[in-house]
């Protein structure tokens, strides 16, 4: 499964 896109913004 595609890596869950980490929420890299605030």
Partner 1 sequence: MNAFRFLGDMTHLFSVLVLLLKIYATKSCSGVSRKTQELYMVVFVARYMDLFTDYISLYNSVMKVVFITSSAAIVWCMRRHPQVRRTYDRDQDTFRHVVLVAASFVLALIFNERFTFREICWAFSIYLEAVAILPQLVLLQRSRNVDNLTGQYVLFLGAYRAFYILNWIYRYFTEGHTSRWIPWIAGLVQTALYADFFYYYFLSWKNNVKLELPA
- By CB under 8 A, the count of residues binding partner 1 is 7
Binding mask 1-10 for partner 1 (x = CB under 8 A): ---xxxxxxx
For residue 3, give the DSSP letter: P
10/2 Cα distance (integer angstroms):
22
Q: Left (φ > 0), alpha (ψ -120 to 50) or beta: where does 8 sit?
A: alpha
CB of 7 to partner 1, least distance (A): 6
| CB 4 to partner 1: min, Å | 6
Task: Provide the binding-site residues for partner 1, judged by CB under 8 A.
Answer: 4-10
């Amino acid at each position: 499964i595609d890596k869950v896109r980490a929420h890299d913004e605030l």
